[in-house]
Amino acid sequence: MQRNSSKQKSKKIDLDRRRDPEIVSYTMSRVKSKDSKMEIMLRKELWAAGLKYRKHYKKVVGKPDIAFVGKKVAVFCDSSFWHGLDFEIQKKKLGHNREYWLNKIERNMARDKYVNEKLAEEGWLVIRCSDKEILSDVAKCVERIRKAVEARS
């Protein structure tokens, strides 16, 4: 019996520490901004389809995850949560620190819109694939990208 109560106490301490600003900062620093599972999956399939691209192309605004430089096609692999896809549903699920997350995700959505507009002004076609699209039907995403690249020949 003693064991269970000590486990419960340590669990409570861990939950409290999770909200500590230093712990939150450390945790957030570990969130991948590139080379995520969905991004690698999409890149492998594009390569297998014979499509050659640049990764994380820094010479244009937004640093696309995948760029077909000669064709000016920029592909972004967006996480549903971080990029506000299904935002109306997602925001109902937010619990702790709700205002922070709402502001954060709204800023991300505004940045995505800005990047789309800037790239379009520079003659780029922007394709955004969500994690749900990639993980459920990567072939469909590859086909959409392939058609866009070929159309810009």
**The token pair that represents 71 in the structure block:** 């064709």
Give one DSSP letter per residue of 66-117, joined into a string. Answer: EEETTTTEEEEEE-TTTTTTTHHHHHHH--TTHHHHHHHHHHHHHHHHHHHH
Classify domain 33-151 by CATH architecture.
Answer: 3-Layer(aba) Sandwich (3.40)
Would the pLDDT of 28 be above 90?
no
- Please tell me the least confidently modeled range out of 2-6, 21-25, 118-122, 130-134: 2-6
Half-sphere exposure of 74 (CA within 13 A, CB side): 25
Quick: pLDDT tens for 124-152: 999 999 999 999 999 999 999 999 999 99
Domain positions in the chain: 1-30, 33-151
Kindly indicate the confidence band of residue 19, based on its pLDDT and cuts at 50, 70 and 90.
Answer: low
| Pairing mode of beta strands 125-130, 73-78 | parallel
